[in-house]
A and B are shown apart, each in its own frame.
Chain A
Amino acid sequence: MLEARQLECTRGDRRLFSNLSFKLDRGQLLRLAGANGSGKTSLLRIMCGLVLPSAGELFWDGRPIRADREEYSRNLLFIGHLNALKDDLTALENLQCAAALSGMPADAGSALAALDRFGIAHCAELPAKVLSQGQRRRAALARLVLSPAVPLWILDEPFSALDVGAVVELERMLASHLASGGMVVLTTHQEVQVVAHAILRVDLDLHTTALRAA
């Protein structure tokens, strides 16, 4: 279970948000909303433990995440707005490397199946630099297929650059992850149709306006 208490984030001289608290239980999806520059990506990076909040604390199963960052990292999978693909490696090599580094080595067969799930198995042997924007996104998202056991998925704009078919596939994957007790945090500009018993919504605009009023 992920819990945020009184988070605050400042970037340079600007305070992006403050007094942000929420709880995310198993099987729940958290959708971050907010205008551009409201701090969605910063909040995601705080939730990954990449950045320390300027105030407040995050707890994973009741323990502060900074107590053991590596242990916490093993419980989460982050796909940022960068696809984390090396241009000179093939889609397959990229996927296998990423999976191995996050402690879930995958053989070529299961990696290929994961790419197939997102419909890019035919590009598996192509270097990532020749893939289109949408194909690169799919290649990055294929990591999700290999990581059902990782409880917390943190996704920054996962639906961007995807076509309708891939969007549906991703929605289906998120739903099954939630159904099996996983947690998902995501930002998106599109309306998502994910079947989940609880969809939380945190609107960062509210937290910034509240601050300005105060």
Chain B
Amino acid sequence: MSKKGRFSWYYFSSPQSFYPLAGTLQPWFAALAAVLCAVGLYISFFVAPTDAQQGESYRIIFIHVPAAWMSMFLYLVMGFWSGVGLVLNTRLSSMVATALAPTGALFTFIALWTGALWGKPTWGTWWVWDARLTSELILLFLYIGFMALQAAIDDQRRADKAGAVLALVGVINIPIIYFSVKWWSTLHQGASVSMTSAPTMAKTMLLGMLIMALGFWMYSIAATLARVRCVILERERHTDWVAAEIGGQT
């Protein structure tokens, strides 16, 4: 790559120079997230047609499915940054991984919550041991485990590295868990009604879902950037530049 590109990569991999960059980018991503979510919600609630079989209640998939996508995607991203942090020993990557976990857990929780809300009118119960819901539940446990491990270790360097190993083990396991659960659920209840293969997905439905997914994606970036800034401040609190930063604001 060009000399300039490499230079900026290294430049922004230091927490000190990433901090202001994150501060500049964060509002833009937040605004983008707000706009996309507003458009997505408008399409899902007012434009998309009513489903012939499930009536209006199906509309919850516009939140449920993108949240489920994001929850899995964010774990992969977390695993990626953990791996980078472990191999290259860059502090910022570990901080990003740490900052990603709560957002991922949040989306996992939303996916579970909306899944339950959808289950009540559709299946008549709040919870079904459907493959998707079950693997989301296990994913939530994985997120909680990651956060609990990092919280339990006092030494920051060790917390980063141990979390990274766990995240990588999790990344290898997620597909295995996912397919195991899928196998298990087909075995036990036959072909269940799957939420994504909702009868004949209309084009507007797909569009709404994609826009919502994009909105969630932007939100994840914005939330992660905001959290990384907090993490950076907390960990670098003894350095001169943080002192100057905080001093300048008061």
Which residues of A have CB within 8 Å of B154? 12
Q: Is B238 an interface residue (CB 8 A)?
A: yes
Q: Is A191 an interface residue (CB 8 A)?
A: no
Residue-wise interface mask of B (118-161) relative to A, using a CB-CB cutoff of 8 A (1 in contact, 0 not): 00000000000000000000000000000000000011100000
Smallest beta-carbon distance B199→chain A, Å:
58
B155 & A12 in contact (Cβ 8 Å cutoff): yes
Smallest beta-carbon distance B117→chain A, Å:
45
Which residues of A have CB within 8 Å of B156? 12
**Complex Cα–Cα for A184 and B154 (A):** 33
Smallest beta-carbon distance A14→chain B, Å:
10
Residue of chain A at shortest CB distance from B155? A12
**Complex Cα–Cα for A11 and B156 (A):** 10
Total interface residues on B, using CB and 8 Å?
A: 4
Residue of chain A at shortest CB distance from B154? A12
Residue of chain B at shortest CB distance from A54? B157
**Complex Cα–Cα for A12 and B155 (A):** 6
Residue-wise interface mask of B (155-175) relative to A, using a CB-CB cutoff of 8 A (1 in contact, 0 not): 110000000000000000000
Residue-wise interface mask of A (121-158) relative to B, using a CB-CB cutoff of 8 A (1 in contact, 0 not): 00000000000000000000000000000000000000
Residue-wise interface mask of A (2-42) relative to B, using a CB-CB cutoff of 8 A (1 in contact, 0 not): 00000000011100000000000000000000000000000
A13 & B238 in contact (Cβ 8 Å cutoff): yes
Which residues of A have CB within 8 Å of B155? 11-12
Residue of chain A at shortest CB distance from B237? A13
Residue-wise interface mask of A (43-60) relative to B, using a CB-CB cutoff of 8 A (1 in contact, 0 not): 000000000000000000
**Complex Cα–Cα for A13 and B154 (A):** 11
Smallest beta-carbon distance A54→chain B, Å:
8
**Complex Cα–Cα for A11 and B154 (A):** 11
Smallest beta-carbon distance A12→chain B, Å:
6
Which residues of B have CB within 8 Å of A11? 155
Smallest beta-carbon distance A10→chain B, Å:
9
Smallest beta-carbon distance A208→chain B, Å:
16
Nearest 4 A/B pairs, CB to CB: A13-B238, A12-B155, A12-B154, A12-B156
Interface residues of A (CB under 8 A from B): 11-13
Interface residues of B (CB under 8 A from A): 154-156, 238
Listed by A's residue number, 5 A-B pairs whose Cβ atoms lie within 8 Å are A11-B155, A12-B154, A12-B155, A12-B156, A13-B238
